[in-house]
Structure 1
Amino acid sequence: MLIEIDARGLACPKPVINTKKELDKLQDGIILVTVDNSIAKENILKLSKSLNCEAKITKEEEDLIVIEIKKGKNVIIEDKKDNELEDKCIFISSDKMGEGNDELGEVLIKGFIYTLTEAKPYPKYIVFVNSAVKLTAQNKSTIENLKVLEECGVEILSCGTCLDYYNLKETLQVGSVTNMYNIVDIMKNSSQTISI
């Protein structure tokens, strides 16, 4: 079975939601998803991997990207690093930690992220929203430590809407851009979500 989805012009996270709906209905077959931006492309590739589907780009032009997703019994995508990580999500919503003095809050959040590199097993996901996206795009200290975690298999995810709001999408230094659908899905399916 072949299903085609035209998700061009749809705001995030609609392309992912529409793709997920069709994948949920499909037992065995191929879905061709057409999008018009790299953020939607990356989000759909991540969705495919999370659902154990095989995905590849079949066409990529400036405003036209076609993703082929195969779903079926013979498709197995393994992530070897998963067994070294805890099924936990750390949700960070500010570039400071705690209430009170902002300068102290900045020191604390840097210390927290550094300490994560020393505390194994690592969480599967670290999600950054609101001003926390500055930690993945501007803060050299936190970026260095987050790169250490990323190299060990931790998914570092920054909210695309938040990056846009702070004009930081082009300066993201570590991890990848995500959307609210993916954030909700991760938080629902992780065994534990720790909010900072």
Structure 2
Amino acid sequence: MKIIDCRNMACPAPVVTTKRALEEAGGEAVQVLVDSGAPRENVTRFAVNRGFTVAESESDGGFALTITASGAAGNEPARTVTGRDGKTVMLVGSNCLGDGSDELGRLLMKNFIITLLDLAELPDRMLFINSGVLLTTEGSEVLEALEQLGNRGVEVLSCGVCLDFFHCKEKLVAGSVTNMFTIAESLVGAESVIRL
């Protein structure tokens, strides 16, 4: 079993290193040493979303994640994104819409997100980065709308580094935490990207 040490690595290095190790492992198990918090969550989510099984144990103040291919055969290779996947991704980079007045920008963003509920066609995924993550956390006026969008199949993801920067990771209400690797993969693999 290959063991890789991703401790003390900044996002998205643990995920990228894990991805490479899984590709090189040819279906054999890989153990990844990670710090607690976002690295542990991001690597686990990455592996599970690609069909792997993750077993974790505490190790030297962090965690050891043993990643194996699902199924008894244990020879499933890592999946990679190839070409466009037909999805529409919305990148929300601010809690304001447009330039100029921040007060007006916040009102416009609120109205935009609420208006999405009246559309027949919705984005497949909404990625919240920078101050956009403030829309997915406690105190946001669009939490109910984002929850309804999630119930209608829209995947709502907030950048973990951004949540940490604004000290609001524990206040996340709508959707889940993601990392820069997933954000980049989503944007590059999407059929269309809408940037707000």
Same fold? TM cut 0.5: yes
Amino-acid identity (%):
34
- 1:60 is displaced (CA, Å) by 4.4
Unaligned segments of structure 1, at least 5 residues: 78-85
Residue 29 of structure 2 aligns to a residue whose secondary structure is strand
Matched, 1:30 2:36: no
Matched, 1:157 2:146: no
d(CA) in 2 for partners of 1:56 and 1:158?
23
Aligned pairs, how many? 187
Aligned to 1:98: 98
d(CA) in 2 for partners of 1:65 and 1:38?
10
Matched, 1:119 2:119: yes
Question: After the TM superposition, which parts of structure 1 deviate over 4 Å for at least 4 consecutive aligned residues?
Answer: 72-75
d(CA) in 2 for partners of 1:88 and 1:4?
36
1:173 counterpart letter in structure 2: V
Does the CA contact (< 8 Å) of 1:34 and 1:64 recur in 2?
yes
Matched, 1:87 2:87: yes
d(CA) in 1 for partners of 2:47 and 2:130?
26
Does the CA contact (< 8 Å) of 1:19 and 1:33 recur in 2?
yes
Does the CA contact (< 8 Å) of 1:125 and 1:154 recur in 2?
yes
2:179 counterpart letter in structure 1: N
d(CA) in 2 for partners of 1:116 and 1:67?
39
- 1:73 is displaced (CA, Å) by 5.3
2:185 counterpart letter in structure 1: D
Deviations 1:24-60 (A, max 9, x none): 223222111121122112211222234x332223324
Residue 99 of structure 1 aligns to a residue whose secondary structure is coil
Residue 127 of structure 1 aligns to a residue whose secondary structure is strand
Q: Output aligned runs, 1:1-196, within 5 Å.
A: 2-50=1-49, 52-60=50-58, 63-71=61-69, 87-196=87-196
Deviations 1:155-190 (A, max 9, x none): 222122222222212211122222222211110111
Deviations 1:117-165 (A, max 9, x none): 3324432211111111110114432111112222334322212222222
Does the CA contact (< 8 Å) of 2:27 and 2:76 recur in 1?
no
Unaligned segments of structure 2, at least 5 residues: 80-85
Aligned to 2:83: none
d(CA) in 2 for partners of 1:38 and 1:109?
30
Does the CA contact (< 8 Å) of 1:57 and 1:65 recur in 2?
no
Does the CA contact (< 8 Å) of 1:53 and 1:70 recur in 2?
no
Q: Structure 1 residues 14-23 or 136-145, which shifts more? A: 136-145
